[in-house]
Structure 1
Amino acid sequence: MTQNVASNSATRAVPDDRKSRFATLTFERDVAAPLAVLWEAWTAPVARAIWAAPSASVTVEFLEADTRVGGREISLCKVEDQPDIRCENGWLALQPAVCSVNYEVISCEGVTQSAALVTANLSGTHERSRLVVTVQLSSLAQDMEAGYRAGFGAGLDNLAGAAERTMVLQRVIQAPRSIVWGAWMNPETLPQWWGPEGFSCRTKRIDLRTGGEWVFDMIAPDGTVFPNHHLYNEVRPEERIGYTLHWGENGPKHADAWASFEDQDGATKVTLGMVFSTAAEFQEAKGFGAVELGLQTLGKLERFVASR
C-alpha cells in the first residue's frame, strides 16, 4: 500500500504554483576554525547577531534570543525606506557540535511570507570544520526561494568569516551554577579573580547589569597597565552574559563577547567566547597567548569558587 501511494504521488503532475511554493535548498561551507568554535558561532546569540545581516545595507535587531530546545529567537531585518521583516526562529533540536534543527517563520507587516525547517549538520576537527545547512522552504504570500538563496548564502559567508576570528574557551567547574554565576556577577568578587595568573584588577566603575559597564585596569606582574572597558548588553541570570570589550574607557571595540553557564550534573560548564573585530586582532591575540591566558582566568575562577 505504501509503495503504491508513493508511486502514484511521484508520477502525479504538480501544478506550477505548487512548484514555486516549495523548495529544498542546501548550503555548504568549509570553515578554517575548530568544530567547537563553529558550533558556538552558529548558535551563540552574540555571534549570530554579528553574521546574520546579509549585507551592509541591512540591519538586524534581535528582540529575543533563547538558544535551547523549545527556545526561540526573534529578530527584525531593517532596510531603509522598506517595512521591517520579522523572523521567528524556534529551536527544535540542539546536539552540540553535531546538528541543530529549527523552524523559521518570516513575516512582513503582519503577513506571513514563508515557513521553513532548517537542519544544520556540522563535522570537523580541532583545526577545520564543515557546515551543511538544508532548508525545506514553503513560500506562502510570495515566492521566497530566490531571497532565501541570496540571504542564506550571504549570511553563511559572514558566519564563516566570523568563526575564523572567534576564540572559545571552556572549563567545567565543580560547583553549582548559582555559585559560579554569583562569583562572576558580583561587583565585589569579579575583580578578585578576573585576569590571568599574576594579574590584578583596579576598578574605576562597575555595574553588572544589562546596560551597565565595568571600567578597570588590568595590571600585569611587571606593573604594566592595560585599560579595559566592558559594556554589558545582555544579562540573563545564571544563563549567559553578552558584552563588548573596548581598549580603555570609550576606546575602540576589539571584540564582542559572551559567557554562558550550563549545568552539568551539579557542576557548571563555563563557555567564554569572543568574536574579534578583525582577523588581524584575532591573530595578534593568539600570538600573545590569549588562549592560554584566558584559560588561566577560568582556572582562577575555579579556585576562587572552591575557596568560598
Structure 2
Amino acid sequence: MTQQQNGNAEELILTRTLNAPRDLVFKVFTEAEHLLNWWGPKGLAMNVAKVDLRPGGLFHYSMKTPDGHEMWGKFVYREISPPERLVFTNSFSDAEGNTLRHPASPTWPMEMLNTLIFEEADGKTKLTMRGIPVNASEEELHTFDSNRSNVQQGFAGTFAQLDEYLAKLV
C-alpha cells in the first residue's frame, strides 16, 4: 500500500479487483438504481435522493439503520471521466444537502476527497480508491489517521456488497 503526503495527512489507498468489466463498474458507482443496491455499510437501507453526475453535481442519499435512525450523506463531484476516473468529496449532510459533522464522531473531518481509478484487466476491473481529508484541522487529521483500520474495514464490507451485486449483473 502506497501512501502519499498531502499537507499533514497521508492518503488512504485501497485497491480491489472486481470481477466485472470496467464500463459496468463505473456505472454501478454513478447511477442511482445501482448505488441503492450496494453503497454504504452492511445492514443499512439506502435511499438515493438525488444523483446529478456532473462536476459540481451531487449524489445525495440517506441510510437508515434497522432501528429507524436515518443519516444523510453526499458526494460533490469534481471530475467525471468515464469509465476511468471519478473524483468527489464526500461528507455527512442533512436532508437538504447541507454539510454536517459525522453523527458519532465530532472530530471526524468534515469532507474527504476521493479519487477512484478504474483500470481494465482481462475483463475484470482494478479499482484504486484514494482518500484524504480536505481543509481539516490537526485534530481532524489525527482522528482520520487513528481510524484508518476502521475505514478500511468499513470499505471492505461495502466492497463485499459491491462484489455480490456485480455477480448478479455479469
TM beyond 0.5: yes
Aligned counterparts, 1:67-216, within 5 A: 158=7, 161-163=8-10, 166-216=11-61
Letter in 1 for 2:130: G
After TM superposition, where is structure 1 displaced by more than 6 Å over at least 4 residues in a row?
Answer: none
2:151 — aligned with what? Answer: 290
Matched position secondary structure for 2:53? coil
Alpha carbons of structure 1 residues 260 and 180: separation in structure 2 relative to 1, 3 Å = same
Whole-angstrom distance in 2 between the partners of 1:219 and 1:285: 23
Whole-angstrom distance in 2 between the partners of 1:37 and 1:162: 13
Alpha carbons of structure 1 residues 220 and 290: separation in structure 2 relative to 1, 3 Å = farther
| Structure 1: gaps of 5 or more residues | 1-35, 43-50, 52-157
Whole-angstrom distance in 2 between the partners of 1:229 and 1:167: 19
Q: What displacement does 1:168 show? A: 2.1
1:274 equivalenced with 2:131 (yes/no): yes
Letter in 2 for 1:184: F
Calculate the aligned-residue CA RMSD, in Å: 2.0
1:223 — aligned with what? Answer: 68
When normalised by structure 2's length, the TM-score is: 0.79
| Structure 2: gaps of 5 or more residues | 101-109
Looking at CA atoms only, which structure, 1 or 2, has the larger radius of gyration? 1
Please list the CA deviations of residues 105-124 of structure 1 after superposition, one character each: whole Å capped at 9, or x if unmatched. Answer: xxxxxxxxxxxxxxxxxxxx
Letter in 2 for 1:162: A
Matched position secondary structure for 2:112? strand
2:98 — aligned with what? Answer: 250
Q: What displacement does 1:284 show? A: 5.8
| 8 A contact 1:187–1:207 mirrored in 2 | no
Whole-angstrom distance in 2 between the partners of 1:189 and 1:296: 17
Alpha carbons of structure 1 residues 273 and 220: separation in structure 2 relative to 1, 3 Å = farther
| 8 A contact 1:210–1:234 mirrored in 2 | yes
Q: Equivalent of 2:86, from 236, 241, 247?
A: 241
Alpha carbons of structure 1 residues 202 and 281: separation in structure 2 relative to 1, 3 Å = farther
Letter in 1 for 2:35: L
Q: What displacement does 1:247 show? A: 2.0
Please list the CA deviations of residues 145-182 of structure 1 after superposition, one character each: whole Å capped at 9, or x if unmatched. Answer: xxxxxxxxxxxxx3xx231xx32222101111111112
Letter in 2 for 1:203: V
Alpha carbons of structure 1 residues 284 and 214: separation in structure 2 relative to 1, 3 Å = farther
When normalised by structure 1's length, the TM-score is: 0.46
1:305 — aligned with what? Answer: 166
| 8 A contact 2:19–2:125 mirrored in 1 | yes
With CA pairs under 8 Å and 6+ residues apart, which has the higher RCO, 1 or 2? 2
Letter in 2 for 1:280: H
Count, aligned residues: 152
Q: What displacement does 1:304 show? A: 0.8
